[in-house]
Structure 1
Amino acid sequence: MASMLEFRTAGFNPYAVKYSPYYDSRIAVASAANYGIVGNGRLFCLGLGPQGVQVEKTYDTNDAQYDLAWSEINENQLLIACGDGSIKLYDVNVNDFPVMNFHEHKREAYSVAWSPVTKDTFASSSWDGTIKIWSPTRTESLRTLPVGNCTYSTSYCPSNPNIISAVSTDSHLRIFDLRTPVSAQYHLTAKIPVHKPPSVPMPPGVSPPIMPAEILTHDWNKYREPVIATGGVDRVIRTFDIRNPNSGPVSIMMGHDYAVRRLAWSPHSADILLSASYDMTVRLWTDGSTMAADESSPPVKPGLQLGIMNRHTEFVTGVDWCLFGVGGWVATVGEGVDTVRGLPITAGI
């Protein structure tokens, strides 16, 4: 059995974990007291070393913390999304207080993402039904993208800084292009109904639900730029090619027993992704894109579960890949007492 590191966020339930894009030995965890229902939040900056997982810094907030993102321009800074609607920027060289505070959302800020290309903006999404684009140097947002219903997750296209995606309670994946005129539906260029029945035959034995359900998470493929994976309440992982928004899913992965809470494509392989679920498991998948195909292959590829990690004892709420190393380490967080785990993908899988 491969080695595994573990850390307990005593008194706080984690909601998100992210590896530093600069160091393979540093991760951060956003958390909340009392399962995010009421009470404070705590940001943990953790170092991974010979002695295991060590706390480098903690920052407390007056409300729950639901997501975080490392800065793409400063190795010591990171953002957190808070239950009071604020986004706070912390610097690990500055004690106690954020160096910037951004507060325009009217309800819980649930997702935050830093632009990986131009690196000069970040995006946030909220239960108030909006996405906001920000500069880290000013407290007023640069623009607001209306979604109209609770928006759980937003992200930048990894290759084009003008394209932003979001998923929400209305069972749709939205694509915004900031280059379009604002008068043209506020930059909305595609609205993909995730649960729409596919127009092509399903793989044998695959029959996903077609009733609309909340989409909780999504992620862009790092190697195939137009491909996005989605997951949510109906327990199904689907991938879509945004160049063909009306064609339905490209692949379908089924196996989770409860809602899919987080997805993360591998930074090391084009067909591999991880999922975290309320069924207390983390699962490793291939979307089937690298499998040999022939004339009898179904148009919608059946993804394949490659492994499962079931060492969490409560809902698994976060998962992230380390950018460094061969094969790849991952970190996962769950709401139980054994909250933060770091392991190579060969451990427990």
Structure 2
Amino acid sequence: MLHYRTQGYNGCAVKYSPFFDNRLAVASSANFGLVGNGRLYILELTPNGIVPMKWFAIARFTTQDSLYDLAWSEIHENQVLTASGDGSIKLFDCSANDFPVQNWKEHAREVFSVNWNMIAKDRFCSSSWDGTVRVWSPHRPQSLLTLPTHSCTYSASFCPHNPDLVSCVTSDSYVRVFDLRTPASASNHLTVQIPIHAAPAAPAIPGPPGVPPASCPPSEALTHDWNKYRPTVLATAGVDRAIRTFDIRAPQHGPLATMLGHDYAVRKVAWSPHLSNVLLSASYDMTCRVWNDPSDAGPGSDVDLMRSGPVSPVAGVELGRMARHTEFVTGVDWCLFGSEGWCASVGWDESLYVWDVRGAMG
């Protein structure tokens, strides 16, 4: 297990480069993301451990606000997007001097996620606490499209199997899927809307960074991710501590699987790029956990689309956990290269860990 300390800055998100097997980016914030500066770290894995390739002190330029998320460009190996608490999105180039090469600011509140389209690589999306998801091009100064959610939107993502599908999860506990090929009309491209909680939620848990617990109902969804092998399946998680998987072809059926075990809110989920039934989670209980989703195992396990009404979800199994963090764990990501199982995690303890999931599984 490798360790790097982001001294003075609390980690919010981590992403492996899609081009280099030894390069990571970390978005971090001073004072736990509540107030102060943000910093983007570009780090490399070397025989001597994790070393900084470059860092950007965001307060030196156009904002003195926190960084909540980041995304590597899919078209330029040295460029990274950041999501800022002042409503801006910045594009940095590792090979340039310490300044952003592009800046966008249309969101009215904090930008909490950014995601690059893996298929149509000239597009990325962002989500904000202002109740919108926006679609952008790195070559244009204004957004291409605004998708209203009318609710605080913590996570948005392009589907890795279809370049025209955009999904998001929100504080009103819905998964929304937008199909950009459909006419906008009154629905604004909204094609699927799945209520995450069909039953009463678990007891209230402290809220996400910057949101007082009183304003954070137990049903808020904080994170989601598309399965890399099952094109219609995604996972969600949030304040009620449960991880759920859904099939967007059958929103009426409810969750396919439910994974329980975290003691506090789940801040991040990430499906394995190597296995269709394995996903990682990062939680405010200071652990990262690896899970088995059994909903795709065995004959007849797929959702019966001809049936109506909810079905009973299967129970996911916790395969192992990593408990080296000493504060909230806010980000986790898988390495795309090499032997399956390597990942990175960051948290409010100013720590980045690079570790082998197989070791956590024993």
User: Which TM-score tier does this pair reach, normalised by the shorter chain?
Assistant: over 0.9
Residue 346 of structure 1: CA displacement?
2.1
Report SS of the residue matched to 2:252: coil
Residue 348 of structure 1: CA displacement?
3.5
Report SS of the residue matched to 1:347: helix
Residue 289 of structure 1: CA displacement?
3.0
Q: 1:30, 1:146 → 2: CA distance?
A: 26
TM value normalised by structure 1: 0.93
1:344 matched to 2:342? The reply is: no
Q: Identity of counterpart residues, as a percentage?
A: 57
Residue 291 of structure 1: CA displacement?
4.0
Q: 1:208, 1:191 → 2: CA distance?
A: 19
Unpaired runs of 5+ residues, structure 2, are: 59-63, 204-216, 302-310
Matching residue of 1:216: 222
Sort the Cα spacing of 1:212 and 1:31 in 2 relative to 1 into closer, same or farther, 3 A. Answer: closer
Residue 149 of structure 1: CA displacement?
1.1
Report SS of the residue matched to 2:359: coil
Q: 1:320, 1:73 → 2: CA distance?
A: 20
Q: Could you list the per-position Cα deviations for residues 204-232 of structure 1 after superposition, in whole angstroms to 9, with x for gaps in the alignment?
A: xxx97499610000000000010010000
User: 2:325 is matched with which residue: 288, 312, 328?
Assistant: 312
Matching residue of 1:261: 267
User: 1:77 is matched with which residue: 52, 61, 79?
Assistant: 79
Matching residue of 1:236: 242
Report SS of the residue matched to 1:196: coil
Q: 1:348, 1:238 → 2: CA distance?
A: 22
Q: 2:312, 2:152 → 1: CA distance?
A: 32
Residue 144 of structure 1: CA displacement?
0.2
1:89 matched to 2:86? The reply is: no
Report SS of the residue matched to 2:31: helix
Sort the Cα spacing of 1:74 and 1:208 in 2 relative to 1 into closer, same or farther, 3 A. Answer: same
Superposed counterparts of 1:1-349, under 5 Å: 4-61=1-58, 62-197=64-199, 209=202, 213-292=219-298, 299-337=312-350, 339-349=351-361
TM value normalised by structure 2: 0.89
Task: Give the superposed CA RMSD.
Answer: 1.7
8 Å Cα contact 1:78/1:91 also seen in 2: yes
8 Å Cα contact 1:195/1:209 also seen in 2: no
Q: 1:248, 1:114 → 2: CA distance?
A: 28
Residue 5 of structure 1: CA displacement?
0.5
Could you tell which deviates more after superposition, 299-308 or 187-196? 299-308
8 Å Cα contact 1:310/1:348 also seen in 2: no
Matching residue of 1:202: none
Residue 182 of structure 1: CA displacement?
0.8
Q: 1:32, 1:187 → 2: CA distance?
A: 34
Residue 96 of structure 1: CA displacement?
1.1
Q: 1:184, 1:328 → 2: CA distance?
A: 44
Aligned residue pairs total: 334
Report SS of the residue matched to 1:346: helix
